[in-house]
Amino acid sequence: QDIEGLPEGVYEVRVQSLFRPVSADEAWNDLLGDSIENYGERATIYANWDSIAPSYWCSKYDPDTYSWTTGGYSDMAYAELDANGDTIEGTAMTYHFPNDRQAAEYQFQMNYYPVQSFYTYVGSNGLLRLGFKNTAHKVQDWFVVSNWELYYHGKDSQYAGTTGIRDIDSNASVNFNEVYTVDGRRVNGLQKGLNIVRGKTADGKIVTKKIVVK
C-alpha cells in the first residue's frame, strides 16, 4: 500500500503478524533450529527501505492466562535433558500452534501476538510504501499482518540512525555505484528529487545516503 502526502521525516511502524511455514512439524523443527531450510528468513514486513521479520506463529502455552477454546491447535513440548535423559527442572515448555484460520483469527482477536515496532524514513516526496512479502511461496504457508499503526517522529528524530537512510561518515572512502528512487527502483543516474545512493567503504561496509536534486 502506498501512502502519499506525508511530511518528510522518521516514522515508527507498529504491526501485529504471524508467519507459519509449511506445516506444524516443519515449523516446530525450524523453531528448534533443526529444519533443513530456515523458513522464517524468507518472510518480511517492510516500510520503504526498512523491514522486520514477522512473529512466529506459535505461542508459549499458559493455561492460566490464555483460553484455547476456538479452532484447532497442535501442542509441541520442549525440555532440556540431563545426562540421564531426565528433564532439567524449569526448562519444560509447551508451545501452542493454531492449525486453522479460526484458531489463528482468535489469537489475533485476543492479542496473543505482540505488537512489533520498527522505524523508516519518508523523503521529500511524501511517499510511504508499506507491505509484506514471502520470497518463496510454498503450500500451506500462512502469513497474516494486521493492526497497522503509524507514528511521526520528525526529521531530526533520535531514531533516524535506525532507518534505511543514514548519514555518511565524511572521513570514509566510499564508492557509490548504486542509485535508487525513494520507492526502491534502481536507476542509472541521479533523478530530480530525492535519490538514495548506496556504496561500500574500503572495509566492505555498506553505506547509504540521500541526495536531493533540484
- Would you list the domain boundaries of the chain? 2-164, 166-214
Percentage of the chain lying above the pLDDT 90 cut: 11
Q: In this predicted model, what pLDDT tens digit does every residue of 165-183 receive, in sequence order?
A: 543 344 445 677 788 887 7
Quote the cell numbers at residue 40.
522464517
pLDDT of residue 196: 81
What is the arithmetic mean of pLDDT over 42-50? 87
pLDDT of residue 130: 92
Residue 61 has pLDDT above 70, yes or no: no
pLDDT at 70 over 90: no
User: Quick one: pLDDT at residue 156?
Assistant: 80
Better-scored residue on pLDDT, 12 or 75: 12
Lowest mean pLDDT of 3-12, 50-59, 186-195, name the range.
50-59
1 or 203, higher pLDDT: 1
How would you label 148-172 residue by residue, b for 16+ Cβ within 10 Å and e otherwise?
eebeeeeeebeebeebbbbeeeeee
**What confidence score (pLDDT) does residue 124 get?**
82
Give per-residue pLDDT as tens, 7-38: 988 999 999 888 877 766 666 666 666 554 55
Share of the chain above pLDDT 70, in %: 73
pLDDT at 168: 35
Q: How far is CA 4 from the centre of its chain?
A: 22
**pLDDT: is 141 or 46 the higher one?**
46
Please report the pLDDT score of residue 198 as a whole number: 78
pTM of the entire predicted model = 0.63
Q: What secondary structure does DSSP assign to the chain, as a single string?
A: -EE-SPPSEEEEEEEEEEEE-S-HHHHHHHHHT--SS-GGGGEEEEETTEEEPPPBS-EE--TTT----SS-EEEEEE--B-TTSPBPTT--EEEEEE-SHHHHHHHHHTT-SPPEEEEEEE-TT--EEEEEEESS--TT-EEEEEEEEEEEEETT-TTGGGSS--PPPTTS-EEEEEEEETTS-EESS--SEEEEEEEEETT--EEEEEEEE-
Q: Which residue has better confidence, 121 or 193?
A: 121
